[in-house]
Amino acid sequence: MPRACTICAHPLREYVDQQLRRGTVLRIIAQRYRTTFSALQRHATRHLRLHRKGDSELARRIHEIGRYTLRVLDEGNPFLALRAMQRLEREYEQLAGPGAMPFEEFLSQSLAGYPDAREALGHLQRWARSQDG
């Protein structure tokens, strides 16, 4: 018989889910609500399915980071924009779990209606590639 989800049975589940949807780092949530990283990861993957249908909160954050990216690139500071994107990618991977679409594909789908953010992230990706070589 499968084990019951400890997060679903948690007395503060509503708050845990809220933190997961906001993209709070799993280790911080685990410490705050006295649970485990793996329990949070399983719960997010099996019960929240944030990555399945383009979670609106994550999509909104991607758009915000795209706008932020454009602004800091205009100010000549691509390092901050790159760090923000790297953090978003880590958060997506933590929440999405195994079997989720690749981050780049999720990003592309999420930005379909935001040409300004899409353009900014394209600039950032080109800049990052130019720094590698």
- Compute the distance between CA of residue 44 and CA of residue 50 in angstroms, rounded to an integer: 7
What are the distances in angstroms from CA 46 to CA 39, 95, 118? 10, 10, 30
What's the predicted TM-score (pTM) here?
0.46
Q: Contact 111/66 with Cβ under 8 angstroms?
A: yes
Compute and round to an integer the Cα radius of gyration of the chain. Answer: 16
Residue 83: predicted pLDDT: 81
- Compute the distance between CA of residue 65 and CA of residue 26 in angstroms, rounded to an integer: 20
Residue 59: predicted pLDDT: 64
Q: Which pLDDT tens digits describe the chain residue by residue (133 residues)?
A: 567 889 989 999 989 988 887 777 888 899 999 999 889 888 887 777 544 444 566 666 666 776 677 677 778 777 877 787 787 777 777 666 666 667 777 777 666 666 777 777 777 778 778 877 6
Backbone angles phi, psi at 119, to 5 degrees: -65, -45
Residue 74: predicted pLDDT: 73
Domain boundaries, given as residue ranges, for the chain: 13-48, 56-132
Residue 77: predicted pLDDT: 77
Joined together, the tokens standing for residue 64 give 């915000």
